[in-house]
Structure 1
Amino acid sequence: MDPLLLGAFVAIATILVLFSGVSVAVGLVIVSGGFLVIFDGFRSLELMPEVMFGKLNNFALLSIPMFIIMGAAIASTRAGADLYEALERWLTRVPGGLVVSNLGACALFSAMSGSSPATCAAIGKMGIPEMRKRGYPDAVAAGSIAAGGTLGILIPPSVTMIVYGIATETSIGRLFLAGVLPGLMLVGLFMAWSLYSTWKSGNTAVLRNVTYTWKEKFEILPRVAPFILIIIGVLYAMYGGVATPSETAAVGALLCVVIAMIIYKLWNVKDLWVVLRDSTKESVMILFIIGAAGVFSFMLSSLFITQSIAAWIGTLDVNPWVLMFAVNIFLLIAGFFLPPVAVILMAAPILLPIITSAGFDPIWFAVILTINMEIGLISPPVGLNLYVINGIAPDIKLKTILQGSLPYVACMVVAIILLCFFPGIATWLPNAVMGPAL
């Protein structure tokens, strides 16, 4: 059978299996095993365990559970509440400042936790009721938190960037640096839209009759400063040549747990057990998907599907930017239905040869891919962040949350366009810190 036609059958089968309700990892193993047996015989099943465990035999993978523990320790404390309160105290008298403080808290918390749902839950529980109380529209209150929660997969340290680096054998350090300026750009776009929509609705003058003294503004800072210093320390250790990403993640996880115990009195054994239990569950889920994606990639390669697709793309006489537009549409659609980790592991090994052959930078493409995945987090039908916000504020209709998040989707599209015109936004910092890529 023609490999391209076979690839179409694999794509259809994968979609049907994943929509059946099975987990992503199990679905990938089922599809891979089925096609290998049909076209390569039962002997190919003997290689599947070796391929799966071989994919997991990577020292860099240790950074994933470590960063997850780091985020879980933060998410289990009042760090989110303190971040929110600190920014609220400093911006309370600024017209429209509350929505800005919420987005700032989302950016900082997502950078510390790396989890979009955790960020939405931690900041949304305080931010949404307060914004509604002060007259902000429900769409702005809900949409800003839903969008702010997506920043965790772009701003370092990002688990999805680690997964991309492992899947494509790209420098994780460069990927982390590549996400910094685009992440800040997205925060700026989100804030600009939020202030505009607040001004347009006439709510800029909605202020609480509360003022904070300088003492009250500064006394909250010591509670959040240690976590921010840990993030700065983690990034310095990686880019200063002090330690590898895995070693840095381990130290960062330990420090976050220690600080959570000292500052937030997380002494209870049950609370610590919850942190380790939840971290283990999430780590195993991601690692299982990575192993299954390795088997899936092996199947595509064994049946010459990957090579044929790359060769076919190479024969097309199309403008590289037309090709990039088609890739973005594909990523958007995939992100609507699948979690970011699954899309990266399934698509990146196939798309990377196509992208590089068209002359695009793989580090730059990682940022483009990640922003597409952010759009999926606040877009139906899956839109995980939308449902998290709906759980926090059930009286706000899902339709209203979606309406509030759509302008932020537009902000992300604008960010992708800016990155296409000015790729240096993503590539300048990695090249400046680590030198030009070889």
Structure 2
Amino acid sequence: MSPLAIGLLIFVVTIALLATGMPIAFALGMTALGFMIVFDGWNAIHFVPETVFAGLDDFTLVSLPMFIIMGAAVASSRAGSDLYEALARWLHRVPGSLVISNIGACALFSALTGSSPATCAAIGKMGIPEMRKRGYDADLATGAIAAGGTLGILIPPSITMILYGIASETSIGRLFLAGVIPGLLLTGLFMAWALFLSWKRGTKLVDADRIYSMKEKLELLPKLLPFIVVIVGVIYALYGGIATPSEAAGVGAMLCLVMVIVIYRVWTPTALWHIMRDGLRESGMLMLIIGASILFGYMMSSLLVTQSVAEAIAEMQVNKWVVLGAINAMLLVAGMFLPPAAIILMTTPILMPVILAFGFDPIWFGVILTINMELGLITPPVGLNLFVINGITPDIKLPTILKGSLPFMGCMVLAIVILCIFPELATWLPQTLMG
């Protein structure tokens, strides 16, 4: 059997196992182990422990649980509600102000937590009822939060970027920097659409004449500024050469815990236990997936599948943008069924040789891939953010939420096109600050 035929069989078996609802780590691990035994014999089992533990023996991985705890601490407090309320007061007189405030709150909160579902839940619980109460249509209110929540995997610090950096062996610091301008671009596109649609529909706000005093506008800032300062400090420590990603993540997690305790009085043993429990649960899940994906990648390489796919694509007499379009289509389809972590760890070892063969920048491609993962979060049938929003507002039907999300999907596709035309939007900042 040729390596390409083996690769097709591996793809079918992996998708079949995932379709049963089996945990991602077990599906990847069982597929890898099964094919290694079938094609290399039982002696292949001897390489399993060494391969998995050698892959996990990476100090960079320490940053994952630290950033997760950092996000869990912030998500456990009222920071999301305060952030939304502060922006709503400052932007009150702007057309579509409440939707724009929610999208801005999603962007800032996602930078604090790095989690799309957490951003949707934290901002949506307060933002969606307020938008509906003040006259905004249900589809726009829910679609804006579903799309805004996806910014959590693009704006640094991003767990998705860390996973891509590990899988592609690229600099996590450069990836974080590369996500800044595209993240702002995507946020701006979301806000522009919200403003346009609110103006087109002539949304009548029930309290449009209300005026907030300067005291009301400023009173929430003392609670929020310390968290923003921590994010800026973590980013500065990374790019100023002061600390490694793991060290910066550790300091950031500790500071966020302290501030949550001091500012929001989240100090009871039960509350702190929930933060640690959630952080440990998600960290353990990601580590299992990473370990299984390392074994999966080793199996693909040992059976020459990765090399054969890269060689076959590189030999195709087609324009490199056609290849990139096909890769984007494949990632979009995969994102409809699988979570971002699984897609990145499964596909990056195969796609990276192709990307390099066609002369694409792997840092730039990391941003393109991440935006594709954002699309998957609001694309049925397994669009996680759609179901999070539906859980927050059970009286709004899923088709209505999907209808509101569709224009924001168009904004994401437009962002990918813009980044293809102007790749410097992703590469300029890392090159300027890090050389």
Q: In structure 2, what is the equivalent of residue 234 of structure 1? A: 234
Spell out, residue by residue over 1:303-342, the C-alpha distance to the aligned partner (whole angstroms, 9 max, x if none): 1111111111121111100000000001101111111011
Post-superposition shift, 1:365?
0.2
Q: Which stretches in structure 2 are left out of the alignment for 5+ residues?
A: none
TM-score w.r.t. the length of structure 2 is 0.99
* Correspondence list, 1:297-376, <5 A: 297-376=297-376
Q: Within the alignment, does 1:94 sit opposite 2:94 as a pair?
A: yes
- For residues 375 and 283 of structure 2, the distance between their equivalents in structure 1, rounded to whole angstroms, comes to 23
Say if 2:161 and 2:176, in contact at 8 Å, map to a contact too: yes
- Letter of the structure 1 residue corresponding to residue 106 of structure 2: C
Shift of 1:207: 3.4
Residue type of the partner of 1:333? V
> 8 Å contact 2:111–2:152 — kept in the other structure?
yes
Q: Tell me, yes or no, if the aligned pair for 1:230 and 1:252 is still in contact at 8 Å.
A: yes
Q: In structure 2, how many angstroms separate the alpha carbons of the residues matched to 1:325 and 1:96?
A: 34
Deviation at 1:69, TM superposition (A): 0.3
Output the CA distance in 2 between the equivalents of 1:302 and 1:386. Answer: 39
**CA shift for structure 1 position 210:** 3.0
Query: Residues 76-113 of structure 1: CA distance to partner in whole angstroms, max 9, x if unpaired?
Result: 00000110111011112222111110000000001100
Q: Quick check: 2:82–2:224 contact (8 Å CA) kept in 1?
A: yes
Displacement of 1:16: 0.6
**Aligned equivalents of 1:342 and 1:6: distance in 2?**
20
Aligned to 2:44: 44
Letter paired with 1:228? I
Q: Which residue in the other structure is 1:426 paired with?
A: 426
Deviations 1:130-178 (A, max 9, x none): 1001110100000000000000100000011011111111000000000
- Which AA in structure 1 matches 2:165? G
Is residue 99–residue 141 contact of structure 2 (8 Å, CA) maintained in 1?
yes
| Amino acid paired to 1:409 | M
Maintained 8 Å contact 1:174/1:363: yes
CA positional deviation for 1:211: 2.1
Alignment check: 8 A CA contact 2:135 2:205 kept: no
Report the equivalent of 1:121. 121
Distance 2:309 2:379 in 1: 29
How many positions carry a matched residue from both structures?
Answer: 435
Distance 1:292 1:300 in 2: 12
Deviation larger for 374-383 or 210-219:
210-219
Q: Which residue of 1 aligns with 2:145?
A: 145
Deviation of 1:65 after TM superposition, in Å, equals: 0.3
What is the deviation of 1:204? 5.6
Indicate the SS of the match to 1:136.
Answer: coil
Alignment partners' CA distance in 2, 1:17 and 1:431: 42
**Cα contact 1:92–1:207 (8 A) shared by 2:** no
Task: In structure 2, give the amino acid aligned to 1:23.
Answer: P
Tell me the distance in 2 between the aligned counterparts of 1:367 and 1:85.
30
Q: CA deviation at 1:379?
A: 0.5
Q: Indicate the residue corresponding to 1:244 in structure 2.
A: 244
The runs of 5 or more residues in structure 1 that have no matched partner are none
- Is the 2:135–2:204 Cα contact (8 Å) retained in structure 1? no
Are the aligned partners of 1:69 and 1:279 in contact in 2 as well (CA < 8 Å)? Answer: yes
Distance 1:230 1:419 in 2: 29
* Residue in 1 that maps onto 2:267: 267
Amino acid at match of 1:375: L
Aligned to 2:400: 400
SS at match of 2:7: helix
Paired letter, 1:385: N
Question: How far apart in 2 are the matches of 1:183 and 1:299?
Answer: 35
Deviation (angstroms), 1:208: 4.2
Alpha-carbon contact 1:332-1:376 (below 8 Å) kept: yes
- The whole-number CA distance in structure 1 between the counterparts of 2:137 and 2:297 is 46
Secondary structure, aligned partner of 1:382 = coil
RMSD: 0.8
Q: Is the 8 A contact 1:375 1:412 kept in 2?
A: yes
Q: Distance in 2 between matches of 1:20 and 1:50?
A: 29
User: How high is the TM-score relative to the length of structure 1?
Assistant: 0.98
Distance 1:261 1:39 in 2: 55
Q: Give the counterpart letter for 1:147 in structure 2.
A: A
Please name the residue that 2:224 is paired with. 224
3-state SS in 1 of match to 2:336: helix
Q: Which residue is equivalent to 2:163?
A: 163
Could you list the per-position Cα deviations for residues 15-74 of structure 1 after superposition, in whole angstroms to 9, with x for gaps in the alignment? 111111101100001111111111010111121122111111100000000000000000
Aligned-pair CA distance for 1:199: 1.1
Moved more, 89-98 or 105-114: 89-98
Determine the structure 2 residue equivalent to 1:289.
289
Partner of 1:412: 412
Report the secondary structure of 1:337's partner residue.
coil
**What SS does the corresponding residue of 1:210 show, helix, strand or coil?**
coil
Equivalent-residue separation in structure 2 for 1:114 and 1:257 (angstroms): 16
Letter in 1 for 2:115: S
In structure 1, distance between residues paired with 2:110 and 2:252: 15
